[in-house]
Structures are given as structure tokens and as C-alpha cells.
């Protein structure tokens, strides 16, 4: 698998967080719309056998990576109790310092402004009365998210170049950026453009520790569970495109690890895999009543870490 770093330029507010598994689902719809269902089926061959054609990270502030969910005392760092609350706000690490030992890297953590939230009033007009009213026509308040700063948003994508190349991926992302990502795209939310796409290689290769960049359904047979640190995340997925209008637009809940999990593999690997996880859904274990073949991204791109734990 090849790793790409893709820089996006937001053009509007977002109604849905730019999460990797959500974006992967919309990319599958983009493949279907541009190339047809047969091509999508072909790309998804082997998805549940550890052979995904694409693994997508969360949208991250340009130049930054999430701080691992790891107690800092395991790094041998002494924390002043009076500073713990302030340190919890410093949850982003500079991506260009990923070569440093983790103990030194976390000292460069910063509280980067990422998402600015705003609440706006939204109306639905009753076409019979020409005005708002009660029930579904009552004015309501909805939250919108704006990316702070002018640098843009980074995606880290792992691709199988024999099935999907960088140009094709940029084209699919461009399709989504024009139509809009996530909720309320039809009202103008979720617009973005692709400003840059470059091959990427992490400086640390030989390691048994890694940081996840998207929600992940881990393969426990490969991990040392006693040395993994994470927060659980339950995904209540919903279909997009025409499947959102069916009788069952919602998918079955899926339990994953939240982005930023600290994983420890059972053995040191060189090089460390570009991604980790399992493919969810499909006909064998469906997550959808509407489209039983639906898959959910349980894989996450990895950042190899130069870490030494003090237990």
C-alpha cells in the first residue's frame, strides 16, 4: 500500500465532522456514480480479508497529528498536577517532528484551533401555507462547523496502486468536494477543493507502536492488548445517496476505537504496516438492512511511533 498526503481547502462550513470512515463511505458512492456499481464491487474484493483498496484518515489540521491516548507517566514524564487540565487541551503534535522519540514529541504538543462551531436557525417552508409552522415546519437550530486557520485540512490515504491511483482518488475527492460532504450538502455545506496530493513516508519504520488516524476496528490477534490505550467509539451509521430515502436508512451500530488510539503490536515489525484494522459489514456480517453488501471502514492509517514505555 502507498501512503498519500492530500491537502484539502474548505470552501464552506461542514454539517458533519470529516471522519475517515464517513468519508470512505462517501467515496464508495462517488466510485459508483462515476464508474458504476460493477467497478465498486471489483474494488471491494478482498476488503474483509485485509486487502482494502483504500483506507482514509480523518480530516486533520494541516501539519498536525492527534496526540496519542497514552498516559504520560508511561513515557517516564513527570506531570505537575496543577498543569494537568492545561495539558489536556494541548492535543495536537507537529507532523514534521514525527521522527522524535514519543517522550520528546509530546512536549511539543499544542492546542491548535481546529473547528469553530456556530449555531444557525434553519426553516422549512410549508408549500401549502407559504410559511413556517409547527412540527416539521417549526424553525430549528442546527450546528455548523468551520475549519479554523488558512492552511487547510490534511488527509492521509493508503491506496492499492494496482486498483486505485492518486489521480483517480483526487478525481473522486473532487466529485465529493463539488457536491458537498455530509449533512445538508444540498444547502451548500461540506464543499472543498483538492489543493495538493503528494506521496508520503513516515520517518520511523521499525516499530511495534503506532498511532491511528481514523476510527479503527482492531485485529486483536496482532496486538498486545495490555499495552494498547484507546477510547471506544460507537458509530450509528446512516446511508447516503438514494439509500437514505429507503425504509431503513440507518445502519447497525458499530463499535470501534476512537482516532488517536495507541496500538502496540505483539512483535516489532519492519516496516510497520501502513494501516491496521478489519473490514466491517458485507454479506457475511451485514451492517445494513437496505443494502446487505454495505461495508464500513474498520481500517485506519498508522503513524509508526518511536516509543519506549515505562511500566
pLDDT confidence of residue 121: 82
DSSP H or E stretch at residue 28:
helix 20-35
The three cell numbers locating residue 102: 514519543
Q: Which residues of the chain have pLDDT under 50?
A: none
pLDDT confidence of residue 205: 80
pLDDT confidence of residue 45: 92
pLDDT confidence of residue 239: 87
- Name the pTM for this structure: 0.91
3-state helix, strand, coil in the chain (%, to 5): 25, 30, 45
pLDDT confidence of residue 124: 85
Could you read off the pLDDT of 72-123 as tens digits, one per residue? Answer: 888 877 777 777 777 777 889 999 999 999 988 988 888 877 878 888 887 8
- Domain boundaries defined on the chain: 2-113+149-304, 116-145
Those residues whose C-beta lies under 8 Å from the C-beta of residue 165, and which sit 6 or more positions away, are 159
Q: How many CA atoms lie within 13 A of 29 on its CB side?
A: 20
Could you read off the pLDDT of 122-157 as tens digits, one per residue? Answer: 788 888 888 888 888 888 888 888 887 778 999 999
- What span, in angstroms and rounded, lies between the C-alpha atoms of 166 and 178? 18
Those residues whose C-beta lies under 8 Å from the C-beta of residue 291, and which sit 6 or more positions away, are 239, 243
Amino acid at each position: 500500500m502507498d501512503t498519500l498526503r492530500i491537502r484539502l481547502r474548505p470552501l464552506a462550513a461542514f454539517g458533519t465532522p470529516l471522519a475517515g470512515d464517513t468519508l470512505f463511505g462517501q467515496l464508495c458512492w462517488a466510485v459508483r456514480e462515476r464508474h458504476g456499481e460493477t467497478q465498486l464491487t471489483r474494488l471491494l474484493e478482498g476488503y474483509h480479508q485485509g486487502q482494502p483498496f483504500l483506507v482514509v484518515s480523518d480530516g486533520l489540521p494541516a501539519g498536525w497529528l492527534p496526540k496519542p491516548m497514552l498516559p504520560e507517566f508511561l513515557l517516564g514524564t513527570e506531570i505537575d498536577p496543577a498543569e494537568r487540565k492545561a495539558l489536556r487541551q494541548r492535543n495536537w503534535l507537529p507532523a514534521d517532528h514525527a521522527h522524535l522519540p514519543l517522550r520528546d514529541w509530546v512536549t511539543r504538543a499544542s492546542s491548535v484551533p481546529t473547528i469553530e462551531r456556530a449555531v444557525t436557525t434553519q426553516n422549512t417552508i410549508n408549500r401549502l401555507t407559504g410559511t413556517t409552522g409547527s412540527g416539521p415546519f417549526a424553525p430549528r437550530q442546527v450546528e455548523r462547523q468551520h475549519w479554523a486557520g488558512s492552511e487547510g485540512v490534511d488527509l492521509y490515504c493508503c491506496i492499492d496502486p494496482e486498483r486505485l491511483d492518486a489521480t483517480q482518488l483526487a478525481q473522486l475527492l473532487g466529485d465529493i468536494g463539488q457536491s458537498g460532504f455530509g449533512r445538508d450538502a444540498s444547502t451548500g455545506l461540506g464543499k472543498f477543493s483538492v489543493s495538493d496530493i503528494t506521496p508520503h513516508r513516515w520517518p520511523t519504520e521499525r516499530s511495534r507502536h503506532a498511532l491511528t488516524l481514523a476510527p479503527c476496528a482492531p485485529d486483536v490477534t496482532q496486538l498486545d492488548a495490555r499495552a494498547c490505550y484507546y477510547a471506544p467509539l460507537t458509530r450509528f451509521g446512516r446511508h447516503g445517496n438514494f439509500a437514505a430515502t429507503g425504509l431503513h436508512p440507518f445502519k447497525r451500530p458499530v463499535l470501534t476505537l476512537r482516532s488517536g488510539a495507541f496500538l502496540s503490536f505483539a512483535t516489532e515489525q519492519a516496516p510497520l504496516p501502513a494501516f491496521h484494522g478489519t473490514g466491517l459489514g458485507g454479506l457475511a456480517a451485514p451492517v445494513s438492512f437496505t443494502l446487505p453488501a454495505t461495508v464500513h471502514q474498520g481500517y485506519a492509517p498508522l503513524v509508526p511511533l518511536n516509543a519506549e514505555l515505562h511500566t
